[in-house]
């Protein structure tokens, strides 16, 4: 069983890039957790002892599979609770973080799964961050087709499905480039067109367009 403190360290290591491979430095963790490097060293030794991390003195640290699973589980709970607070209790997305920071440590697998079901298995939290499943796997679909986005979503353009010159010219003309921020102002159910805001200009786009533009949802 992990303590709150252990979980916070594992989460920090995960967020500091150890979902990939590269090991994480003591100082980086200290800064993230707002503690002293010496405290981090102490905790790393303990986590290594318990097999949550691979750690060699002076060489940085990385999560073991056990550690990774624990970290993603905490992140899963954090994001599910955020969805609960925003969707069910009408909190604004700005005020949920501190509370979720507490709720993420509640220990009950059954509760987590029941909450997930109650919220209709959300794939993303209110900030647009993906919610891992119970095995720590993230849905790869951080990229969706623009037509799948919802009213009030704010997205970032990350790619196109149709790369014909005609389509790309259209995008150019309207200043829609990779990295462009797109806000969904409204969706018209009748013909699936939508009104969006790009670079401060509003624009009506047809279903044909929105079906061929990949975006990442940033926030809602």
Site residues, DNA (CB under 7 A): 3, 5-6, 25-28, 35-46, 55, 57-60
Considering Cα of 32, then 36, then 38, then 44, what sign does the dihedral take? negative
CB atoms within 10 A of CB 108: 10
If one asks whether residue 91 binds a copy of itself (CB under 8 A), the answer comes out as yes
Q: How far is the CB of 168 from DNA (least distance, A)?
A: 41
Residue 43 interacting entry, from a copy of itself, DNA, none, C-beta within 5 to 8 Å by type:
DNA
Residue 217 CA: distances (Å) to CA of 20, 26, 43, 205, 210: 22, 32, 36, 18, 14
Residue 174 interacting entry, from DNA, a copy of itself, none, C-beta within 5 to 8 Å by type:
none
- List the structure tokens of 21: 């491979």
Residue 98 interacting entry, from DNA, a copy of itself, none, C-beta within 5 to 8 Å by type:
a copy of itself
Candidate residues 49, 56, 118, 141; the one interacting with a copy of itself per rule CB under 8 A: 118
If one asks whether residue 110 binds a copy of itself (CB under 8 A), the answer comes out as yes
User: Alpha-carbon distance 156 to 139, whole Å?
Assistant: 18
Candidate residues 99, 156, 160, 185; the one interacting with a copy of itself per rule CB under 8 A: 99
């Amino acid at each position: 069983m992990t303590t709150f403190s252990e979980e916070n360290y594992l989460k920090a290591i995960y967020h500091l890039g150890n979902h990939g491979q590269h090991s994480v430095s003591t100082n980086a963790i200290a800064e993230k957790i707002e503690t002293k490097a010496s405290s981090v060293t102490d905790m790393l030794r303990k986590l290594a002892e318990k097999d949550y991390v691979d750690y060699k003195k002076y060489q940085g640290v990385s999560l073991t599979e056990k550690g990774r699973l624990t970290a993603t589980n905490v992140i899963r709970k954090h994001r599910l609770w955020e969805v609960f607070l925003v969707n069910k209790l009408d909190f604004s997305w700005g005020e949920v973080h501190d509370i979720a920071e507490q709720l993420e440590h509640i220990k009950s697998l059954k509760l987590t799964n029941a909450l997930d079901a109650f919220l209709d298995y959300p794939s993303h939290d209110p900030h647009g961050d993906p919610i891992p499943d119970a095995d720590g796997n993230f849905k790869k679909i951080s990229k969706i087709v623009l037509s799948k986005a919802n009213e009030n979503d704010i997205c970032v353009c990350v790619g196109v499905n149709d790369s014909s010159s005609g389509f790309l010219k259209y995008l150019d003309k309207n200043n829609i480039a990779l990295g462009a921020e797109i806000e969904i102002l409204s969706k018209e159910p009748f013909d699936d067109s939508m009104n969006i805001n790009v670079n401060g200009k509003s624009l009506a786009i047809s279903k044909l367009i929105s079906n061929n533009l990949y975006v990442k949802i940033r926030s809602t």
